[in-house]
Amino acid sequence: MFPANWTSIKVFFFLGFSHYPKVQVIIFAVCLLMYLITLLGNIFLISITILDSQLHTPMYLFLSNLSFLDIWYSSSALTPMLANFVSGRNTISFSGCATQMYLSLAMGSTECVLLPMMAYDRYVAICNPLRYPIIMNRRTCVQIAAGSWMTGCLTALVETMSVLPLSLCGNTIINHFTCEILAVLKLVCVDTSLVQLIMLVISALLLPMPMLLICISYAFILASILRISSVEGRSKAFSTCTAHLMVVVLFYGTALSMYLKPSAVDSQEIDKFMALVYAVLTPMLNPIIYSLRNKEVKVALKKLLIRNHFNTAFISILK
């Protein structure tokens, strides 16, 4: 095969799950259902946070950001895959592939930074409740959220721009259902040591280090919770933190298995299914975990439903 650069290639082809013809329809149906739940759940969480003034707190500011990036990440990965399945083409343009690669890296990297910030927010709320409004003021929270987005977008730009100049071997078949950077690198026919080094450094900064910060935060939180004499207060503190920990385990578990696995372990098929967990399951479960396990969200929903009921009744009376 003759080397070619990215700009000379007009279209890439996805293998997707073509090795499993008997279950492709099932995978499509499950992914479509989970994607719709992801959209509805995250839009609901963002909407109720905006509409209810009681949820205008740092925790829900970060949670809204998490829901927003989950929508973008799932949409960038799944909508082309679902559209290709319906059309039967399994193709993507050069610009579409580059955009998809950037968006998936940017959203994933932003979440890597945002989750430890959410852990820090819980640490301050539980360990320093009297100083919480001062430490986590509105300006600080906006700066933290903006910093998370900037970090994620810039690191994704570095990774994407390090891949685009590389020569491809003329092969335009991507053994994946999305333009995932590891799958795209397999098409490159030049030395990728520099790109792999860049990815390793960024992955080390965005995966183990945030996890360490989360562990430290929750070690202090656990020590503080155990000192609470009230059973009800201890139960409420545990409930608040359990939801965040469930999200952390899901997100970092799949991310670590994909980006920091030993080089000797190379199973493209396993990577595809791990990417599905990363792109579909985690974004779908985030709003479910937070809404079902959070009393504040349930109360806000009840208030919203009651308000709408009275508004509807008042309008019917006026008519």
Nearest to 271 by CA among 176, 202, 174: 176
Tokens of 53: 């003034």
Sheet harboring 91-93: ordered strands across? 91-93, 11-14, 173-174
Q: What is the mean pLDDT of residues 38-50?
A: 89
Tell me the pLDDT tens digit for each residue of 166-214.
Answer: 887 777 888 888 888 888 888 888 888 899 899 989 988 888 888 889 8
What amino acid occupies position 52? D
Nearest to 246 by CA among 192, 285, 206, 299: 285
Q: What is the pTM of this model?
A: 0.85
pLDDT band at 88 (very low <50, low <70, confident <90, very high): confident
CA distance 37 to 189: 40
Question: Is pLDDT of 154 > 60?
Answer: yes
Q: Which domains does the chain have, with CATH numbers?
A: 9-258+266-302 (1.20.1070.10)
Question: Is pLDDT of 146 > 90?
Answer: yes
In this structure, are residues 92 and 80 in contact, taking their beta carbons and an 8 Å threshold?
yes
Burial of 82 (0-12, 13-18, 19+ CB in 10 A): middle
pLDDT of residue 1: 47
Tell me the pLDDT tens digit for each residue of 259-283.
Answer: 766 655 556 777 787 788 878 888 8
